[in-house]
């Protein structure tokens, strides 16, 4: 019996050794194989639909007076696709259709083609992480088109985290190469073409962003940008009226502009049901505009799946050196505008969003080999009032999808 | 700024349950994007907020 057990053990041991000997030792597993062994990374997609309406009485098309009534319906699709564990691509496609009572007054025919327009834009992004160095770099490119404006852009960014991932610095650059389709006010088309020397607008910006974890419940981010624009910076179909002149002129602004915005975010997780998201921006440019913007949002979490997000935004700006209201410009001014967007004013925007994001999603849509899940829905409303009388309402619907 | 940073409490990855909350993200929400764009169209100031700082539109 003992001998039989010994023989059985010997056979089993021999077979194990022989089996081991038959299996070659694995080489280092390539990254692509490692990625195929991990669960596939989900694709997330966002669908946004927005309605915007405004009205006021200082249209720049008619020299700083007249209706500013406008309606805009906009839609946008953003898709983020992880190519592998360190690489992501994104696509951002937007379309909007707007009708404007003020641009309808570019010529004398009311309810003409200038009353409405469509805008389409598409941007592509690419990001890659370098985990060993805690670095990420990204590239983007895209463009937009509407009846009077064509734009192409490209940019890049680089970011690095600290070893403990409590700090991050990001440096980015962006360039826009734009072209106006010159459309002048009907009665000024002969003289306007002599005043405008280019249909190009070039915009270059560099930005630095610094993020810091302050403690377990608080983090901050500071952003500084430097922007330079040159080319046709005025709007070809904006009219400007002068004292003691019956005939308008078209808006004329310098052909270069420097902008210096600086922003600060501060977020604080107060309790499980309250978060404070705050933001402040200081802005200055060499047109003479100085502005301060502050925003506060206070997400209220009624459950892990439902939150209300009230917000309030205040903006105050000092006018451009080149601004004067209707028929207030004087002879001899080199640059002039009656666009109230460049005037002195304060504005207030307040509203609320509601977000519902249950754990298992709201709906599932069967695709060929996978299931698209509606992860969350958010509805947002904002009311905007400017001190010169412009008022606006905006509603946004956001649907977030995930494709595992 | 350096003094401010020096006073920060280092937080380990497993201690970031509050910082990783969806509402603590420093980037703009997708639902805020339209509003940020429109603010840039009707005001003279733009930038430092994740939106366009100039270019891409016939606006100021």
Contact B23 A301 (CB under 8 A): yes
For residue A48, the chain B residues in CB contact (below 8 A) are: 30-31, 33-34
- What confidence score (pLDDT) does residue B60 get? 74
pLDDT digits (tens, 9 = 90+) for A190-209: 888 888 889 999 999 999 99
**Per-residue pLDDT averaged across B22-44, rounded?**
93
Q: Nearest-CA distance from A13 to chain B in Å?
A: 45
Both structure tokens of A393: 């309402």
* C-beta of residue A57 within 8 angstroms of C-beta of residue A66: yes
For residue A215, the chain B residues in CB contact (below 8 A) are: 8-9, 11
- What confidence score (pLDDT) does residue A132 get? 95
DSSP track, A322-355 = TB--TT-B-TT-SSBB--GGGSSEEEEEEEEEEE
Nearest to A59 by CA among A210, A211, A251, A229: A251
Q: What count of other Cβ atoms lies within 10 Å of the Cβ of residue A254?
A: 15
- Kindly report the average pLDDT of chain B as a whole number: 86
- What confidence score (pLDDT) does residue A358 get? 95
Q: What count of other Cβ atoms lies within 10 Å of the Cβ of residue B10?
A: 12
Q: How confident is the model at residue B5 (pLDDT cuts 50, 70, 90)?
A: low
- What confidence score (pLDDT) does residue A140 get? 97
Contact B49 A263 (CB under 8 A): yes
Count the helices and strands in chain A (H runs, E runs): 3, 20
- What confidence score (pLDDT) does residue A104 get? 64
Distance CA A156, CA A309 (A): 32
For residue A221, the chain B residues in CB contact (below 8 A) are: 26
For residue A213, the chain B residues in CB contact (below 8 A) are: 8, 10-11, 16, 19
- What confidence score (pLDDT) does residue A19 get? 36
pLDDT digits (tens, 9 = 90+) for A345-399: 999 999 999 999 999 999 999 888 889 999 999 999 999 999 999 999 999 999 9
Interface of B with A (CB under 8 A): 1, 5, 8-13, 15-16, 18-19, 21, 23-26, 29-35, 38-39, 41-49, 53-60
Contact A166 B11 (CB under 8 A): yes
Distance CA A213, CA A222 (A): 12
Both structure tokens of A77: 């699709």
Nearest to A293 by CA among A265, A321, A325: A265
Q: How is residue B13 annotated by DSSP? A: G
For residue B31, the chain A residues in CB contact (below 8 A) are: 48, 353, 378, 380, 396, 398
Q: Nearest-CA distance from B28 to chain A in Å?
A: 11
Per-residue pLDDT of chain A (404 residues; tens, 9 = 90+): 445 544 545 444 444 333 333 344 444 444 444 444 445 689 999 999 999 999 999 999 999 999 999 999 999 999 999 999 999 999 999 999 988 876 666 766 655 545 788 999 999 999 999 999 999 999 999 999 998 899 999 999 999 999 999 999 999 999 999 999 998 988 888 888 888 889 999 999 999 999 999 999 999 999 999 999 999 999 999 999 999 999 999 999 999 999 999 999 999 999 999 999 999 999 999 999 999 999 999 999 999 999 999 999 999 999 999 999 999 999 999 999 999 999 999 999 999 999 999 999 999 998 888 899 999 999 999 999 999 999 999 999 999 999 98
- What confidence score (pLDDT) does residue A117 get? 87
Q: What is the ipTM of this complex?
A: 0.92
Q: What count of other Cβ atoms lies within 10 Å of the Cβ of residue B1?
A: 8
- What confidence score (pLDDT) does residue B2 get? 58
Q: Are strands A256-271 and A218-231 parallel, antiparallel or unpaired?
A: antiparallel
Nearest to A327 by CA among A316, A336, A314: A336
Only one residue has tokens 């000092």, namely A318
Both structure tokens of A140: 């983007």
Q: Phi, psi (5° rounding) for residue B36?
A: -65, -40
Q: Are strands A167-180 and A149-161 parallel, antiparallel or unpaired?
A: antiparallel
Which residues have a Cβ under 8 Å from the Cβ of A185 and sit 6 or more positions away?
A61, A106, A107, A192, A237, A239, A248, A250
- Kindly report the average pLDDT of chain A as a whole number: 89
- What confidence score (pLDDT) does residue A147 get? 87
Q: Nearest-CA distance from A23 to chain B in Å?
A: 39
Distance CA B58, CA A178 (A): 9
Both structure tokens of A287: 């047109």
Q: What count of other Cβ atoms lies within 10 Å of the Cβ of residue A221?
A: 18
Which residues have a Cβ under 8 Å from the Cβ of A266 and sit 6 or more positions away?
A218, A219, A220, A276, A278, A279
pLDDT > 80? residue B54: no
């Amino acid at each position: 019996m003992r001998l039989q057990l010994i023989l059985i053990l010997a056979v089993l041991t021999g077979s194990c050794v022989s089996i081991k000997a038959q299996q070659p030792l694995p080489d280092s597993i390539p990254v692509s194989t490692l990625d195929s062994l991990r669960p596939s990374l989900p694709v997330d997609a966002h669908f946004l639909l927005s309605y915007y309406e405004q009205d006021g009485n200082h249209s720049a098309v008619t020299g700083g007076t007249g209706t500013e009534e406008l309606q805009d319906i906009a839609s946008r699709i953003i898709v983020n696709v992880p190519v592998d564990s360190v690489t992501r691509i994104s696509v951002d496609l937007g379309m909007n259709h707007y009708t404007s009572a003020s641009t309808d007054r570019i010529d004398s025919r009311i309810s003409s083609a200038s009353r409405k327009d469509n805008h389409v834009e598409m941007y592509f992004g690419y990001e890659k992480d370098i985990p060993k160095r805690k670095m990420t770099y990204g590239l983007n490119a895209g463009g937009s088109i509407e009846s009077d404006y064509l734009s192409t852009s490209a940019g890049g960014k680089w970011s690095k985290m600290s070893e403990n991932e409590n700090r991050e610095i990001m440096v980015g650059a962006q360039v826009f190469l734009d072209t106006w389709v010159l459309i002048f006010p009907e009665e000024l088309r002969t003289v306007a073409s002599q005043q405008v020397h280019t249909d190009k607008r070039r915009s270059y910006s560099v930005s630095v962003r610094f993020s810091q974890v302050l403690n377990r419940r608080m983090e901050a981010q500071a952003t500084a940008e430097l922007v330079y624009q040159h080319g046709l910076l005025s709007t070809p179909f904006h009219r400007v009226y002068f004292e003691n002149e019956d005939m308008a002129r078209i808006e004329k602004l310098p052909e270069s502009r420097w902008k210096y915005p600086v922003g600060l975010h501060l977020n604080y997780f107060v309790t499980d049901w309250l978060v404070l998201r705050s933001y402040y921006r200081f802005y200055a440019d060499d047109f003479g505009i100085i502005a301060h913007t502050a925003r506060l949002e206070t997400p209220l979490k009624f459950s892990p799946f439902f939150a209300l997000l009230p917000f309030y935004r205040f903006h105050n700006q000092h006018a451009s050196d080149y601004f004067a209201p209707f028929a207030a410009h004087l002879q001899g001014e080199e640059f002039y505008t009656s666009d109230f967007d460049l005037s002195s004013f304060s504005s207030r925007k307040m509203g609320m969003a509601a977000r519902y994001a249950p754990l298992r999603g709201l709906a599932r849509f069967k695709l060929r080999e996978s299931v698209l899940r509606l992860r969350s829905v958010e509805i947002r409303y904002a009311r905007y009032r400017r001190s010169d009388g412009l008022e606006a309402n905006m509603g946004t619907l956001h649907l977030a999808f995930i494709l595992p | 700024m350096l003094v401010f940073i020096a006073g920060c409490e280092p937080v380990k990855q497993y201690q970031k349950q509050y910082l990783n909350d969806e509402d603590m993200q420093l980037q703009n929400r997708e639902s805020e994007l339209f509003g940020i764009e429109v603010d840039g169209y009707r005001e003279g100031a733009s930038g430092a907020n994740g939106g366009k700082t100039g270019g891409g539109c016939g606006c100021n």
